[in-house]
Amino acid sequence: MQHEKTQNRLLAILSDGILIVYFLFALFPLVWMVLVSLKSGPELFTTKFIFTPTIDNYIAILFGDARAAAGVVARQEFPRNFMNSLIASSGAVLISLLVGVPAAYALARYKFRGKEDLAFTFLSFRFAPELVVIIPLSVIYRQLGLYDTYFGIMWVYQLVTLPLLIWVLRSYFEDISPDIEQAAMIDGYSWWHVFFKILMPLVRPGLAAAALLAFIFAWNNFMFPLVLGGSNVQTVTVASLGYISSAQGFFNRMAAASVLASLPQIILALSIQRYLIRGLSFGAVKG
């Protein structure tokens, strides 16, 4: 018995050890990114982990620095890129909400012809190689004048945000018993009243989480603004590539920009942690 206890103790310590090694691998790049962003120029080329931190890089990224103003180094467009990401992603999520909430409800509640095919067509947006759509779309956008516009980017972001919203919300609507609606209808409430006053409050946490996750995915998207956007709507993801090539020797600036560009997602993701599993699996896994 004593022998078995020691064995279990050893096993537990070993398991914790393996976990710690894995998490060193998982978290080290992010910790290193933060460290580099706090380093001054000369310290950049040492691999020391202990140094005097400076927030100069953040100030330079947010407010520009003297050398950029004098034209010695490329101007940092970070604040504008950040706003572009914010506008494009929020707009995309708003469109998805307007279109996706009713669609998810219809797919969850009604039986109608072609229902599953339709649901899978929306899902296929998520899995199809984007280039099949955006190569021709780049031609259409140039003809319609949508190239390098916010609306153009929001529209194409629907490929990312809409399937997520529809599938996750559909699973939340399906969790609610139709009896609740039936009962309210029998009590004489109108369909609109039932939908907005009874159903929506029930799915609200799931809805908020799905919308925030869609926002994160839109924010993280790279290929759409790369192909369909120019300098007007350049997002942080596209701009970040420019930082590394123009910032030879300015890796600390780049790291500071990366930290700032990642903060929104990390904060949002932590706030919806309970709903992440279902969101990330499009409703397939109810975590």
Per CB under 8 A, which region of 128-136, 167-175, 177-185, 199-207 contacts another protein? 128-136
Query: Could you give the C-alpha distances from 150 to 35, 116, 147, 205, 228, in angstroms and in order?
Result: 34, 32, 9, 28, 10
Q: Which two tokens stand for residue 230?
A: 């120019």
CB of 69 to another protein, least distance (A): 25
Indicate which single residue of 133, 185, 198, 202 sits in contact with another protein (rule: CB under 8 A): 133
Comparing CB distances to another protein, the nearer of 232 and 273 is 273
For position 200 contacting another protein by CB under 8 A, the verdict is no
For position 208 contacting another protein by CB under 8 A, the verdict is no
What string of DSSP letters covers 163-188?
HHHHHHHHHHHHHS-HHHHHHHHHTT
Note the residue count of the chain: 287
165: left (phi over 0), alpha (psi -120 to 50) or beta: alpha
Comparing CB distances to another protein, the nearer of 122 and 172 is 122
For position 87 contacting another protein by CB under 8 A, the verdict is no
Amino acid (one-letter) located at 115: K
Indicate which single residue of 23, 63, 151, 196 sits in contact with another protein (rule: CB under 8 A): 23
Q: What is the phi/psi pair of residue 147, to 5°?
A: -65, 135
Indicate which single residue of 160, 168, 184, 216 sits in contact with another protein (rule: CB under 8 A): 216
Which residues ranging from 93 to 122 are in contact with another protein (CB under 8 A)? 95, 98-100, 102-103, 105-107, 109-110, 112, 118, 121-122
Comparing CB distances to another protein, the nearer of 60 and 157 is 157
CA gap 268, 265 in Å, rounded: 5
Residue 14: CB atoms within 10 A of its CB come to 10
For position 124 contacting another protein by CB under 8 A, the verdict is yes
CB of 64 to another protein, least distance (A): 21
For position 61 contacting another protein by CB under 8 A, the verdict is no
DSSP 75: P
Indicate which single residue of 84, 89, 158, 171 sits in contact with another protein (rule: CB under 8 A): 158
